[in-house]
């Protein structure tokens, strides 16, 4: 009896240990898988594109002032260049005809929030309202849906990127900052951007700054001499089957 009891007890213990071990391994595997999913859900904003084609995207953030818009559009026309204008909703309210003009000249319009607030400092509900209200204004004026978002001040957090992805937007920043907002002068701006621009670059300009006509015209001439094409963001980025590395460079996702 004693021997049979010991064998039965040992059997039960072995069964418990076996299934217990399977349970622990399963929890570990599921935990790692879920942890990976959490990290995968955070997608870095697109700062530039990995491409061998000599094309770049010129972008303008437009949050205040309208004096330079027509001049910018005329210069872009002269160089047969297309750009992406990231508009703030409150600016749209005061400049509806200019929004239509930007669209009619063949340029792309992106979303730059409604009030130019810092997105890491507001709730997800407010993020959604800031984005959707601005896009509705653009669509009402142009008939085009918006799927590009640039965070004000370039400030972005995980919730901002995830919210944009959920809403169907690409979060766009830049890899070349012209520095025009610092009023450093045309010579320094042109030197700065010409040294740092390469195929796939996204260049940040602002609309309502000094001397934009001077340095924009000269820079576009420089790009033409280097055989660059100036395209919209949508014509630069990959819109499916892509990945974005930790430095914000977007590239084609290679399949195993």
Residues serving a catalytic function are 61, 206
Maximal C-alpha separation, the chain: 101
| Continuous H helices in the chain | 2-41, 69-78, 89-94, 96-104, 124-142, 158-167, 186-196, 212-225
Tell me how far apart the alpha carbons of residues 32 and 35 are, in angstroms, rounded to a whole number. 5
Which of these, 80, 58, 66, lies nearest to 174 by C-alpha position? 58
Long-range contacts of 210-214 (CB under 8 A, 24+ apart): 210/183, 211/180, 211/185, 211/186, 212/68, 212/71, 212/72, 212/180, 213/68, 213/71, 213/72, 213/75, 214/186
Tell me how far apart the alpha carbons of residues 114 and 92 are, in angstroms, rounded to a whole number. 9
Q: 3-class SS at 176?
A: strand
As given in the structure block, the two tokens for residue 201 are: 């670059």
Please give the torsion angle defined by the CA atoms of residues 32, 38, 41 and 43, in that order, rounded to the nearest 10 degrees.
-90
Place of tokens 């520095």: 179
Question: Which residues have a Cβ under 8 Å from the Cβ of 133 and sit 6 or more positions away?
Answer: 89, 114
Tell me how far apart the alpha carbons of residues 77 and 79 are, in angstroms, rounded to a whole number. 5
Q: 3-class SS at 118?
A: coil
């Amino acid at each position: 009896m004693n021997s049979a009891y010991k064998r039965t007890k040992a059997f039960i213990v072995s069964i418990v240990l076996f299934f217990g071990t399977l349970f622990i391994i399963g929890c570990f595997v599921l935990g790692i898988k879920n942890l990976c999913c959490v990290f995968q859900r955070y997608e870095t904003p697109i700062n530039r594109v990995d491409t061998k084609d000599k094309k770049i995207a010129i972008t303008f953030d437009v949050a205040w002032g309208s004096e330079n818009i027509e001049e910018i559009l005329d210069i872009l026309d002269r160089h047969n260049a297309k750009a992406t204008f990231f508009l703030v909703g409150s600016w749209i309210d005061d400049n509806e005809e200019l929004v239509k003009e930007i669209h009619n000249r063949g340029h792309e319009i992106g979303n730059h929030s409604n009030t130019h607030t810092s997105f890491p400092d507001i709730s997800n509900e407010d993020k959604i309202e800031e984005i959707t209200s601005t896009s509705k204004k653009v669509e009402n004026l142009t008939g085009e849906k918006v799927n590009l978002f640039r965070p004000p001040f370039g400030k972005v957090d995980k919730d901002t990127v995830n919210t944009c992805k959920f809403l169907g937007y690409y979060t766009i920043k830049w890899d070349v900052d012209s520095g025009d907002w610092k009023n450093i002068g045309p010579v320094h701006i042109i030197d700065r951007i010409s040294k740092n621009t390469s195929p796939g670059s996204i260049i940040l300009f602002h609309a309502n700054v000094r001397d934009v006509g001077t340095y924009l015209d000269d820079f576009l001439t420089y790009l033409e001499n280097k055989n660059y094409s100036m395209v919209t963001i949508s014509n630069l980025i990959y819109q499916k089957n892509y990945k974005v590395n930790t430095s914000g460079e977007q590239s084609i996702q290679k399949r195993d």
